[in-house]
Each structure stands twice: as C-alpha cells, then as structure tokens.
Structure 1
C-alpha cells in the first residue's frame, strides 16, 4: 500500500502534501473526525459531552497504510475504538496510529444512483 495521502474531498480534511512518515507492516495512520461536544437524543434532549454513557466508537479517515495492510486503503473511512489508540502530531495535525486488526469496520460509499432495491 502507498503512504501517499488521498485526494482531499469536501467532507474530509486529509492533508494535501506527502507525509513525513512511512507506515510499516500492518499499521495505519488515521485522521480522526471531530466529534461534536454535545449530542442530541431522539427525543430532543441535549446530552453534554461530560455525560458518561455507553462506549462509543469513532470514525477516522485513513491517510497512510503499511505494506501489509490488506482490507483498508488510503482514503477509506474507518471505525475504531478511541480508547485503544496511540496519538502522534505531524505538521500541526493530530493523527492516530492503529493496527489493521484494531479497525472494526470500513465505511462503504453511499449508492447515489437513485434506484431503489428490487421489490416483489
């Protein structure tokens, strides 16, 4: 896999230039998405960020991948446990280092063809 960052899209903030780091083995360098400080329940109640609740996984964008990464590509949006991570700062940005096995899921692109499924 390449360590070159993915092209920037409007919904992500992936760095534009090459990173001063090369990932090894099955390691991933991801840029975590900013989590809103407050959430709102389905009933409309505002839940402050300090409220203790169930464990939440976090989304991030893969910006570099080691040569032995098989299931994830640079530019993929992945789901990981924010409690089990190692952080690093490169060029003023805060990144997270993960092993490929620490990724719980990879987001699939939305089907924007406008067609619905087959109904019988």
Structure 2
C-alpha cells in the first residue's frame, strides 16, 4: 500500500509521480525544548524545518516509504484536507532527510 491510501472511510487516493503525502505529528504551534520548556509559535528566532510522517507515496518515489519520518521546509508546502484531516503534499525532492529503522548507518544516502 505504498502508493494508495484510504483516508478514514473515504475513497482510496493514489498519489502521482514523486509526490509524498505527510501528516505532522502533534500541534504545529507550540513546541517543547529538550528541558521541557514550552516555546510558543510566536517565538520564531530562525528558519526551522519540520518533521512529519509519510502516509502515502507516489510510484516514482525512491527513498521514502509509508511510515517514514521526513524532514521538510514548512514554507514550501501544499496543504490538503482529506475527509476532515489535514495533510501536506510534498515532492520527494523537497524532503531534506528521512528517518527510518531500515536506513543503514554506513550509507551516504541518495543524492537528488
């Protein structure tokens, strides 16, 4: 089911080409530091990348599978709502990093 997803009980959706559909884990606004201090969304100091979970991938995606955590720039995103839930649609080339247990430590990764 790497290229098809069923959002809730709705119609199946197939992503095309190199698209990746992700869901941000948790609220986008506030975040916590490693020490547990709450940092409000209005306290942005520098440009910050975001982590999300891939829920579906297109047939031409080479280095991401469903369930991987991906790092992307939240300013370069397209938001979509499917059956009442918010998702973000990205191109594979807009993903900066992939975190998954299947990734080997010795590999250098795929250069896009």
Per-residue deviation, 1:34: 1.8
For the residues of structure 1 that align with 2:24 and 2:84, how far apart are their CA atoms? 14
Indicate conservation of the 8 Å contact 2:10/2:83, yes or no.
Answer: no
- How many residues of Structure 1 are paired with residues of Structure 2 in the alignment? 102
- Aligned in 2, Cα 1:19/1:80: closer, same or farther, shift over 3 Å? farther
- Aligned in 2, Cα 1:36/1:102: closer, same or farther, shift over 3 Å? closer
What TM-score, normalized to structure 1? Answer: 0.69
Q: Which of 63, 67, 90 is the matching residue for 1:75?
A: 67
Indicate conservation of the 8 Å contact 2:48/2:73, yes or no.
Answer: yes
- Aligned in 2, Cα 1:79/1:42: closer, same or farther, shift over 3 Å? closer
Matches within 5 A, 1:1-120: 2-5=2-5, 20-35=12-27, 37-41=29-33, 46-109=38-101
- Aligned in 2, Cα 1:40/1:32: closer, same or farther, shift over 3 Å? closer
| Higher normalized strand content (fraction of residues) | 2
What TM-score, normalized to structure 2? Answer: 0.73
**Gaps (5+ residues) in structure 2?**
103-112
**Gaps (5+ residues) in structure 1?**
6-14, 111-120
- Aligned in 2, Cα 1:47/1:109: closer, same or farther, shift over 3 Å? same
Per-residue deviation, 1:37: 3.8
Structure 1 segments, 4+ long, off by >2 Å, are 1-5, 15-20, 35-48
Compare CA radii of gyration and give the structure with the larger one. Answer: 1
